Amino acid sequence: MLFNSVTFAVFLPVVFLLYYIVPHKYRWAFLLLASYAFYMNLHVGYGLLLLFTTVLTYALARGLEAAPSAARRRLCLWGGVLPLTGILLVYKTAGPLIGRLNELIAAGRISLQPVTLTILLPAGVSFYFFQSMGYLIDVYRGKIKAERHFGYYALFVSFFPQLLAGPIGRADSLLPQYKKKRPFVYENVTYGLKLMAWGYYKKLVVADVLAVTVNSIYDNAQAYVGLAFLVATVMFAIEIYCDFSGYSDIAVGCARLFGIELMTNFKSPYFAFSIREFWSRWHISLSTWFRDYVYIPLGGSRTARWRHCLNLLLTFLVSGFWHGSSLTYILWGGIHGLLQILETFLYPKKRKDLEIKRRRHWWQLPVTFVLLCFTWIFFRANSIQDARWIISRLFWDIERPMNYLQTGITCLGISPIAAMGMGLSVLFLALYDLASLKCDVIAAFSRQKFFIRWPVYVLLLVVIALFSPKGVATEFIYFQF
């Protein structure tokens, strides 16, 4: 079920109303049923894999805690991590292989009758796999106790606002919230609705509108040169941010309706002054997951310099592979790893207080954004060949500035009014992110007088209704991961 679908527009109010009618001791069961209904609305078979993951990690965590020896504890740990990792590897690698096989069959290079081979990739599978594995590892490390109540644990794995694309939760934060009695709190509900509205603005008004131009250029890369690639790349940087942070805002706001607080997943990432800082602000739940369960077990920064650099590179290569087995994703992750390594030499972290007080220079902000846009080329390009074409022709004919500009504008095919609308939307987004560096914008704005607040709320809803693309609801980009 998509957040931007008519089905969800009916589902959420019904679940919300019934939730506060159901007695507290049965609310976990109601939310669990609602979460499975939400997920199985996409495909009935998805629920079986979700249930398998839940039963496996629940049983192994209980067994791990009761294990009489260290060897038995390790057996329980790897008994959960290896199968889930293996399943994830199958889903990540089988898709591209089957796609290539289909191409060979269609071209007659494999002597089979024309068939269409497919593999069903369950939406959000890696997110709840990571959440379940993180729980199992935390139990193994003694950070938390294994959950005894199967129902609460099942809800932790499947809670519908975060199920499809996070934020990836931690058991020590979420399980106590599911057990706590949560009365109806007006401020929670209004805050959640406002945050959801802002998330829908990001997705429908900014991301989906920019996606039309980005897709037309990147999906037909060989037909374009010059400024069109430059503009489309910047557009994609904004699109993917608004698409994914929009989902996160909707998820966090939706959970707040039920009195559950999920972690913040984005903190104005394009106002970062370095790649390292960017990753402390972008997809925070996944970044911290890789830090805690991949980077630190490899040795982190508490090793020799060469090993620290290798740990960084390996972690980002794994992150790239998590996004997909295509070479474009792996190269994207590798470049980010190399940039992080470069920054360890440029900004040596001798003491934490010195790092915090290190003077920032204004030029670091645009330089970081340019580097990020460059890496997004590999993330968005359909192949390595397309990425090479785009990079080699970003500045094609720039020695003739007027011709470069005119050709780019013609290729983009955006009317002046549409361009102005996109510009205003992005400006509004940038102002919000800039303000959010200092305070919680929604909370601060909620304290303003009635005649200031409500015109803005109404205007936001009108803009979403009028300027979002009409027709079939588009998936969020990170559903494919």
Whether the Cβ atoms of residue 275 and residue 262 lie closer than 8 Å to each other: no
Q: Is 413 left (phi over 0), alpha (psi -120 to 50) or beta?
A: left
Helix pair 227-257, 208-218: axis angle to 10 deg: 140
For residue 401, say if its preceding peptide bond is cis, omega within 30 degrees of 0.
no
Task: Name the phi and psi angles at 223, rounded to 5.
Answer: -90, 0
Q: Dig out the tokens for 229 from the structure.
A: 């690639």
Q: b or e along 55-75 (b: 16 or more beta carbons within 10 Å of the residue's beta carbon)?
A: ebbbebbbbbbebeeeeebee
Distance CA(320)–CA(371), nearest Å, equals: 17
Q: Which helix (H) or strand (E) holds 4?
A: none
The residues, ordered by sequence, that sit 6+ positions from 25 with a Cβ below 8 Å of its Cβ are none
DSSP 3-state of 68: coil
Distance CA(212)–CA(343), nearest Å, equals: 35
Distance CA(77)–CA(70), nearest Å, equals: 11
Distance CA(152)–CA(72), nearest Å, equals: 26
| Amino acid at site 438 | K
Whether the Cβ atoms of residue 200 and residue 250 lie closer than 8 Å to each other: yes
Distance CA(30)–CA(155), nearest Å, equals: 10
Given the residues 283, 308, 323, 336, the one annotated as active site: 323
Whether 323 is catalytic: yes
Distance CA(98)–CA(87), nearest Å, equals: 16
Length of the chain measured in residues? 481
Tokens 């959420």 locate to 12
DSSP string, 394-428: TTTTTTSHHHHHHHHHHHHT--HHHHHHHHHHHHH
Distance CA(480)–CA(209), nearest Å, equals: 20
Whether the Cβ atoms of residue 144 and residue 152 lie closer than 8 Å to each other: no
Count the alpha carbons within 13 Å of 367 in the hemisphere toward its beta carbon.
9
Task: Name the phi and psi angles at 290, rounded to 5.
Answer: -65, -35
Catalytic residues: 323
